[in-house]
Amino acid sequence: MDLAGQCPKCRYPLDPKIGLRCPECGSDASSETDLYVRRRGIWKYALAIAALLGGLVCATIVPEYVRHGSWGLVPNAVLMRWGLAHFGNGGEKEILRRFNGGELNQQDRTLLLAADRSELKDSGDFLRQQKAVGLCLAFIRNGDDRGWEIMREAMHHSSANVRMCAQLTFPMAGEPVPPWLIEELCHIIDSDPDRSVRIEAIMNVPPSGTPSAGSLVLPTVIRALRSDDLYVAYNAALYCTRMPIPGSELREALEKLAQDPSPRVRCLAERAMGHDSPELKRLLDLEDELERQKAPGP
C-alpha cells in the first residue's frame, strides 16, 4: 500500500521525524499515525470519468438498440457504403428506415447511390439486383430524381430479369415518369431482344405521367400491334383497352388497323377495341401449339 506523510488538514507533505505541526497551515496532528493517509491515485479519477462517459454512451445507445436493434447502432457513413452488399436484409431495412425518416443528408444519399449502382452492375446476384432496383423507389418518393437515372440503367441491364424488374417498379413509383424515360421504354418495346421484356414494357408503360406521353406511346403500341410476335401484339391489344390517352386518337388508330389486309392485325384491332374475336383465340391457340413444338423434349 502506497502511504505518505501528510497534514491531515491541508495534505501538505510532512515527515514525522521533523514534527507533527504543519508549517503550511499550522495545525497539529494528534499522533504520528494521523500523518499517514492513503494516496489518491490518478486511476480513481480516470475510473470516475470512464464511468461517467459509459453512462452517457449507454443513455444514447440503449434506447436506439431497443427501438431499431443492432442496425440502429451502425453509423450512416458505414451503413450507406456497405449496407447493401454486406449487411443482408437487416441492413437494407435500416437504410430504408433512415431514408424515409429523413435521417440521411446529401452526402449519405450520394454514398448510397454509388453503392446501389455498384450492386446493380457488379453483384451478379438477381435478388440483390432486385433490391437495388427497389431502392430507386426510395429516391424517387423522396424527391430525388437520381432514382430515375438508376432505373434507366436497370432498363438497359444485360440481364433480362433485371430489365423486367425495372419496368415492374414503374407503377409503384407514385410519381409522374419523366418523358425521357417513357421514350426509353418505348424503344424497349420496339427493339428489346427478349419477348418477355417487350411484353412487360407494354403492360407498364405509363402514358398518363406527362402531357407528351400520349404522342410518345401511341405510335409505339400501334407498331407493337403489327409485331410478327403474336404474344407481343396481343398484349399491345390488351393494353389498348386501358390506355389512358385521348379516346378519339386511339379509336381512330384502331379503326385503321381494323381495315388492315392482315387477318391477324384485324383481329388484334378488334380485341383492342374491346370486342371478342374467335379468330384471334384460334390464332393464339395455334401459336401456343407452335411454341410447344419448338420446346426441347424432356
The per-residue pLDDT for range 78-91, each reduced to its tens digit, is: 878 776 666 566 77
100 or 149: which leads in pLDDT: 149
Does pLDDT of 292 surpass 70? no
Phi, psi dihedral angles at 14 (to 5 degrees): -130, 145
For residue 192, name the pLDDT band (cuts at 50, 70, 90).
very high
Q: Given pLDDT bands bounded at 50, 70 and 90, which one contains residue 198?
A: very high
Q: What is the per-residue pLDDT for 283?
A: 61
Q: What is the pLDDT of residue 1?
A: 36
CA distance 170 to 51: 53
150-170, pLDDT tens digit by residue? 889 999 998 999 999 888 887
* pLDDT (0 to 100) of residue 2: 40
Determine which of 106-110, 211-215, 244-248, 251-255 has the lowest per-residue pLDDT on average: 244-248
* Choice between 92 and 149, residue whose per-residue pLDDT is larger: 149
Confidence label for 202 from pLDDT (cuts 50, 70 and 90) = confident
**112 falls in which pLDDT band (50, 70, 90)?**
confident
The model scores a pTM over 0.85: no
Cell numbers that stand for 100 in this block: 424515409
Mean pLDDT of 267-294: 66
Which of 54-63, 178-187, 231-240 shows the highest mean pLDDT? 178-187
- Condensed to tens digits (0 to 9), the pLDDT of residues 3-43 reads 457 777 677 776 666 777 777 787 777 776 666 655 455 66
pLDDT recorded at residue 214: 62
State mean pLDDT over 235-250. Answer: 70
Q: Which residue has the higher pLDDT, 178 or 8?
A: 178
Strand partners, 5: 36
> Would you say residue 64 has pLDDT above 80?
no
Q: Is the Cβ–Cβ distance between 234 and 222 less than 8 Å?
A: no
Tens digit of each residue's pLDDT (9 = 90 or more) over 243-272: 655 556 677 777 777 787 877 777 777 777
Q: What angle do CA 250, 251, 257 make, to 5 degrees?
A: 95
Calculate mean pLDDT across residues 211-226.
Answer: 77
Cell 470512464 found at: 50
CA pair distance 191, 210, nearest whole angstrom:
23
Asked whether the predicted pLDDT for residue 119 surpasses 80, the reply is yes
287 is written with which cell numbers?
401459336
Q: In this structure, what C-alpha cell is assigned to residue 209? A: 405521367
CA 10: distance to chain centroid?
66
